[in-house]
Amino acid sequence: MKKSDSVVNFGRKSAGRLLPAVSTRDNKARRGRSLLLAGSHNYPGAGVLAARAALRMGSGYVILAQPNIAVSSLENPDFLLCDLNDKRWEELKFDAILVGPGFGVNEFTASVIRRLKELQFEKVILDADALTVCAQENLFPLPRTWIVTPHTGELARCLKVTSEDIDQDREHFVKLAQEKFQCVVLLKGHGTLIRRSARTYKILSGNSALAKAGTGDVLAGMITALRAQGLRPARAALLGAYLHGACADLWVAKGRDSLSLMASDVIEILPEVIHRVRKG
């Protein structure tokens, strides 16, 4: 990492040092259990993308949970499904939980966030609809160990400013957000920024190929898997964001046009990126 104007650059060498170790003693339980409250009847793909990304990022178990589950286990045999009309999410066994992608802006989403705060559960990632709910229901601040992953528009709603304001000074607004939210803040976009307490990091990977629906769901699933495997909040956010961006960089490096990248392509290319980063 190199320091520049109070912002610490986070690149490939730093990412390599944070990758979870692989051991012959590993089993699916040791690799962590990820619970994803993501997707819905209207947006089933958001949950599927997050779940597949969590698996690719190493989580030993992945459970995708929704009311009126909208996807099929026959088409998605790699992760578990739970209909929240039949079973309460609190009854499930998990190490880390993601709430928000395609899950809906409603009272149920708000109740989940309130309950997680009451339980003082540490490994929580909030994305997409969960952030909108936090803004509408005044659920900030959040526990320090939580991670939020807004894009510019979502952060603007949370801070009650415009997207244009944030684009003019991203470093200022990610700092302001961390002071208000109290947790780790990952501001997506060109030059992803991550803020924890008194330090801001800039991710040295990624390009315009990631400007595609669903790529944020993939990132959220990756970070959830890293938290489930025991990485500390800021480290999980940093590593997840770097690998996510590196997937887009490798896509372009292989001679593919940046317009053509899909969210599912990020998941497919992730194993090669992890291998390259691990080998240094």
Q: Is 45 flagged in the annotation as binding?
A: no
Q: Is 180 flagged in the annotation as binding?
A: no
Q: Is 275 flagged in the annotation as binding?
A: no
Q: Is 28 flagged in the annotation as binding?
A: no
Q: Is 280 flagged in the annotation as binding?
A: no
DSSP per-residue letters across the chain: -EEETTEEEE-HHHHHHHSPP--TT--TTTT-EEEEE---SS-HHHHHHHHHHHHHTT-SEEEEEETT--S-TTT-TTSEEEETTTS-GGGS--SEEEE-TTT-SSHHHHHHHHHHHHHT-S-EEE-THHHHHHHHHT--S--TT-EE---HHHHHHHHTS-HHHHHH-HHHHHHHHHHHH-SEEEE-SSS-EEEETTEEEEE----GGG-STTHHHHHHHHHHHHHHTT--HHHHHHHHHHHHHHHHHHHHHTT--GGG--HHHHHHHHHHHHHHHHH-
- 107/133 Cα distance (integer angstroms): 8
Q: Is 102 flagged in the annotation as binding?
A: yes
Q: Is 58 flagged in the annotation as binding?
A: no
Exposed, middle or buried: residue 40 (CB in 10 Å: 0-12, 13-18, 19+)?
buried
Q: Is 117 flagged in the annotation as binding?
A: no
Q: Which residues are annotated as a binding site for AMP?
A: 188-192, 216
Q: Which residues are annotated as a binding site for (6S)-NADPHX?
A: 46, 102, 151, 217
Q: Which residues are annotated as a binding site?
A: 46, 102, 151, 188-192, 216-217
